Structure 1
Amino acid sequence: MGTVFIAVVERNIRGLPPELKGRFEVVSPEDLSARLEELSRRGVRRVHLAFLGPRPVSLKIPPGMEIRDGREALSDLEAFPEPAEIEAQSFEILRGLCDLSRFPQALHPLVLRLVHAAGELALAESLLIHPDFLPTARRLLKEGRAILTDVEMVRAGISRRLCEALGVKVYSALSEAESPPSGFTRTAWGLRRALEKYPEISLLALGNAPTALLEALKILRESPREVAVIGFPVGFVRAAEAKLLLAESPLPHLTNLGGFGGSALAAAAVNALLHMLHEEKAS
C-alpha cells in the first residue's frame, strides 16, 4: 500500500465532514496508535502525520513504519495534474458528493459550477432558481446581449475569451458610479446609470452589494425590460432580504438563501452559462 496522510485532531474540534478532508483522514490523539497498528497490518509503510493541536505524550510506532512530519507531505503532494485535468477531477468528485436530485438535469452543470466555486456542498441546498432563468439567460447571451456586474471583481472573474466568442460585452456598475447623489451607494447609483445608458444590458450578475440588487429590483419594477438576474450579494445587512425579494419576483433569477454569496459565485454562474453555450456551439 502507498503513503497514508493523517491529520491528528482533538475530538472536540473534529467537525470537518469526511468528504472535505482531501487526502487526509482525521484521527484523534487517543486513537492514533491503534490506527497506525491497523495500517501496518494492511501493509502501509509510510505515514504523514499533521498534528492540529498537542502531540500525543506517547506514540507507539509499528516496526518498519516510517513516520513523516506533515510539512514533508508537500513532496508527495506536489505532482499536480494539468489545469484542465484538475478541473475534470474536481467535477468528477463533486458529482459523487453533491445531491442534485431536486434540480432538473439541465441545471446540473450550473449547480456544480456554483458549488465548485464556493467550495461548499451545502450551497446546493440553498439555491433558488426560477424555472425560466436558464432558458432566458442562455437565449439572451446567445443573442449577444450585454452583462452588467455590480463590482469589478465579478467582471474580472467572467471569462473574457468566452464572452468575445459570443460577442458579449460586460459592464461594471462601479465604472458608471461617478458622484452618487445622497441616498445612493456607488454600486446602486452606477447600476441605475448603466441600465439607462446601455439598453443592450439583459443579464445582471450581482455578487457583492445588496444595495445594487435592491436598486435593480426597484428599477425593473419601474421600467420593465427583458432581463435575467443573478443575485449573490454577500453580508449580514440586507443581503438575505434582497435575495428573498428577488426570489418572490417574477424575474427569471438565480439566487440563494441567507448572507452567503460573493463575487466568485456571480462570476461562476455567468461562466457556467457561457460554457454551456460554447459546448453547444462546438457540438
Structure 2
Amino acid sequence: MTYHEIKKPGAIATDSFSLIRQELSTAGYQFTSPNADIIERIIHSTADFDFAETTEISPNAVDAGTKALNMGCPIVCDVNMIRAGISEPRVTNLGGALHCFVAEPTIRQRAEAAGSTRSAMGIRWAAEQGLLEGSLVVVGNAPTALFEAIRLVDEGIRPALIIGVPVGFINTIESKEALTTVTAVPWITTLGRKGGTPVAVAIVNALLRLAVDAPVTEVD
C-alpha cells in the first residue's frame, strides 16, 4: 500500500481552499468577499459544490453578522450539535454566548402542550428571554425552528441575522423560501433540501473569523 505524504494541518487547509477556488473558477463562478468567504467555507466543510449555486445571502448580511458578533451578541441555535461545532472561545472573546434550549425539560413540556416541536419552542423561548433581539439565530436542522424565527420577525422581533439552512425533506424548501421573502432582517440560506449542521457551523465560524479579520481559510 502506498501512503500519501502527510501534510501539516495548515498546509492541508491552504491547499483545500486553493483547490476550491480553482474549481469554482473553472465552473464559471465569480464571488467577491465577504460572500465568497462564506460560500468557500461551506464548500470546504461539505465537499459539495452545489452550494455555490444554492447559497443565497441577502444584502449586507455578512456585515450585519460580523458587527453583531463584535458587539457580543447572543447566538441562538436550534440544536446542540450546532452549538458544539461553533468556536466557543471566539464567541466568548467577543463577549457573546451560545444558547440552545431544545433539550431543556421546560421546552419539552411546552412543546407537547402546544403541539409544536422542541426546536421551534426553543426559538420562541429564547425570544421570551430577550435573547433574540440583536442576535444571530442559527437554524441548521429543523424547518419548524426557521418558521418560528420568521414568525417572531413578523411579530416585531429583530435578530441581527438569521442563518436558515435546515436539511431534509418535509417543509425544508418551503421554510427557506419563506426566509428569502423576509426584508426586515438580513439572512443567509441554502436553497433546496441540502443544509444541516456542517453548513450552519461553517457559516458562523466564518463570520467569527471575519469579525476579527482572521483568515477564513484557517481551521480551528
Gaps of 5+ in 1: 1-71
Gaps of 5+ in 2: 216-220
The Cα of 1:109 is off from its aligned counterpart by: 1.2
The residue that corresponds to 2:129 in the other structure is 197
| Code of the aligned partner of 1:117 | S
Higher relative contact order (CA 8 A, sep 6+): 2
Identical aligned residues as a percent: 34
For residues 58 and 52 of structure 2, the distance between their equivalents in structure 1, rounded to whole angstroms, comes to 14
2:212 aligned counterpart, secondary structure: helix
Q: Is the 8 A contact 1:138 1:277 kept in 2?
A: yes
Question: Structure 2 residue aligned with 1:272, among 206, 209, 217?
Answer: 206
Q: Is the 8 A contact 1:150 1:207 kept in 2?
A: yes
1:18-65 deviation line (CA, Å, top 9, x unaligned): xxxxxxxxxxxxxxxxxxxxxxxxxxxxxxxxxxxxxxxxxxxxxxxx
The residue that corresponds to 1:41 in the other structure is none
2:34 aligned counterpart, secondary structure: helix
The Cα of 1:146 is off from its aligned counterpart by: 0.7
1:148 aligned counterpart, secondary structure: strand
The Cα of 1:201 is off from its aligned counterpart by: 5.5
Greater Rg by CA: 1
The residue that corresponds to 1:136 in the other structure is 64
The residue that corresponds to 2:180 in the other structure is 247
For residues 102 and 81 of structure 1, the distance between their equivalents in structure 2, rounded to whole angstroms, comes to 29
Q: Is the 8 A contact 2:78 2:141 kept in 1?
A: yes
The residue that corresponds to 1:263 in the other structure is 197
Task: Give the root-mean-square deviation of aligned CA atoms.
Answer: 1.8
Residue 80 in 1 paired to residue 6 in 2? Answer: yes
User: Normalising by structure 2, what TM-score?
Assistant: 0.88
1:80 aligned counterpart, secondary structure: coil
Residue 114 in 1 paired to residue 48 in 2? Answer: no
The residue that corresponds to 2:16 in the other structure is 90
1:91-135 deviation line (CA, Å, top 9, x unaligned): 111111124845333221111001111211121111111012111
Q: Is the 8 A contact 1:162 1:278 kept in 2?
A: no
1:141-178 deviation line (CA, Å, top 9, x unaligned): 11111100100110111011211221110101314423
The residue that corresponds to 2:218 in the other structure is none
User: Larger deviation: 192-201 or 123-132?
Assistant: 192-201
For residues 76 and 157 of structure 2, the distance between their equivalents in structure 1, rounded to whole angstroms, comes to 16
Select the structure that is richer in strand: 1
For residues 217 and 195 of structure 1, the distance between their equivalents in structure 2, rounded to whole angstroms, comes to 12
| Code of the aligned partner of 1:255 | T
User: Normalising by structure 1, what TM-score?
Assistant: 0.69
Q: Is the 8 A contact 2:74 2:96 kept in 1?
A: yes
- 1:1-283 alignment, distance < 5 Å: 72-73=1-2, 76-77=3-4, 79-99=5-25, 101-176=29-104, 177-179=107-109, 180=111, 181-199=113-131, 202-250=135-183, 251-279=185-213
